[in-house]
Amino acid sequence: MQAFPNHPSFQGFNKPSRMEADVKDLEVIGEVPSDLDGIFFRVAPDAQFPPKLGNDIPFNGDGMVSSFRFKNGRVDFKQRYVRTDKFKLEREAGKALFGAYRNPLTDDESVKGEYRGTANTNVVVQNKKLWALKEDSPPVMMDPWTLETEGYSDLGGQITSQTFTAHPKFDPNTGDMCAFGYAAKGLITRDMVYYEIDPQNKIKHEVWFELPYYCMMHDFGLTEDYACFHVVPIVSSWERLEAGLPHFGFDTTKEVYLGILPRRGDAKDVRWFKAPNCFASHVMNAFNDGEKVYFDVPMAKNNGFPFFPDVHGAEFNRAESAARMTRWCVDMGDKSENFHSMVPLSDFIGEFPRIDDRYASMPYRHGYMLAQDFARPLELPNGRSMSGLMTNVLGHMDHATGKTKSYWTGPTSTLQEPAFIPRPGSINEGDGYLVAIENMLAEHRSDLVLFDAQRVDEGPIARMPLELRLRGGLHGNWVPASHLPEAPAA
């Protein structure tokens, strides 16, 4: 195989590891509660081959899934590539055949018309399968125990969208998976579809509608009565793809919208509320009080993605990319086309918001996110550098009191997105744990860390060191054993 490019996104802590591994019974420093019974799944982009075009953006690497099986106070680790169609074709060829992110015009002739998905963004369990997700393609099904890939699924012909979001939500009242696809009728189309899928994979409700303009629809908000779609101008066009520009660019001249679809309604019921230009990506949670809809997002003045540059040529503005949790409110009972309000919720600067998912779509109190504290030192040995964002703080916000708690990792490491684990037997919101991967940047290793979700400021209650380096990942989730198929014989 050829060398990976001499570029920070392919060297140092970001060097693709390409490592599939099994480690039985990780070392535990501290104590893992013995009643935790389930698996923490997460996924990261990890390019199998050097990029076809010489360089690539971080979002285009092949999906590598890690699983951490918790039982009886012990933790087993497993890691496998998702065998996407792309992965298999490229492995056969011994090199990259697919070109730039979301640009099929850059692909080898031999793979025209194939799924381009990398399954590198999120992993969730639904109907006893692990779904590996990338928003440009259908879901890929995997065995949650072995991490063997079964392949793409359209749920027996039920999913007619060409794409499926990497950020589905589970309705805690019904167990239904609520999801959407954008560019659902083809690349750069404004077509959206919203699906509600029951726990046995039957599509119960489906609504097709159009966006005001094509853009990256990465996440959405679910409330008990509404599905909420934020339209932020991370835009594209066929002209960009033909010119070989990055698929997306940020347009500071366009308006932002929040589209509200009544969950039991139809396309004609969608309302688009307008707000001035801004940037927002992940949704912490959303809820409604009658016709008032609340939508919580880390919101920034300007673009958050340096590799999707300003369409008018402005330099990336680091200071303006700082995101703060903000509560958007629109009123379905109001004739106004404008937002009702936008209220900041905390001073944390950061992203990767999470909640106790049992409170998804409902009024909630506890929010968690990765924060960036630039006043804290970063002291790495010579030759070591950060991988991506300096997310050096785990933040906990109590929306009821406005109080926050935070944990700083120290000067030589950063954190990846946490997932919430409910304390077995407890139904109280926020009563549980947070699990995350800590990037041990100085040592080029990774630790799995477990926090008490009520006391993040006290630091991890358990640390499981890996003698492996896990690349910067995107998303993951805790899945209790009760949601998994029966465990295979040991």
Positions in the binding site for ligand V55 (CB under 6 A): 45, 59, 120-121, 135, 218, 281, 474
Q: How far from 26 is each of 21, 40, 75, 86, CA to CA, in Å?
A: 13, 14, 6, 32
Supply the minimum distance, in Å, between the C-beta of residue 417 and ligand V55: 11
C-alpha 414/C-alpha 393 separation (Å) is 8
Going by DSSP bridges, is the β-strand pair 271-275/476-480 parallel, antiparallel, or unpaired? Answer: unpaired
Q: Which is nearer to ligand V55, 135 or 196 (CB)?
A: 135
Encoded tokens for 483: 């949601």
Q: Which is nearer to ligand V55, 59 or 98 (CB)?
A: 59
C-alpha 464/C-alpha 282 separation (Å) is 28
Q: Which is nearer to ligand V55, 261 or 323 (CB)?
A: 323
Identify whether the C-beta of residue 318 lies closer than 8 Å to the C-beta of residue 338: no
Q: Which residue number has the CB closest to ligand V55?
A: 59
Q: What strands lie across the sheet with 203-210, from one edge to the other?
A: 169-170, 177-182, 191-197, 203-210
Supply the minimum distance, in Å, between the C-beta of residue 211 and ligand V55: 16
C-alpha 365/C-alpha 478 separation (Å) is 20
Supply the minimum distance, in Å, between the C-beta of residue 351 and ligand V55: 9
Dihedral of alpha carbons 48, 79, 155, 218, sign: negative
Encoded tokens for 460: 């991890």
Supply the minimum distance, in Å, between the C-beta of residue 289 and ligand V55: 29
Q: Which is nearer to ligand V55, 59 or 287 (CB)?
A: 59
Residue with tokens 């004739």: 335
Q: Which is nearer to ligand V55, 125 or 474 (CB)?
A: 474
Q: Which is nearer to ligand V55, 127 or 237 (CB)?
A: 237
Nearest CA to 305 out of 313, 293, 316 is that of 316
Supply the minimum distance, in Å, between the C-beta of residue 336 and ligand V55: 30
396 backbone dihedrals φ, ψ, rounded to 5°: -120, 125
Supply the minimum distance, in Å, between the C-beta of residue 143 and ligand V55: 23
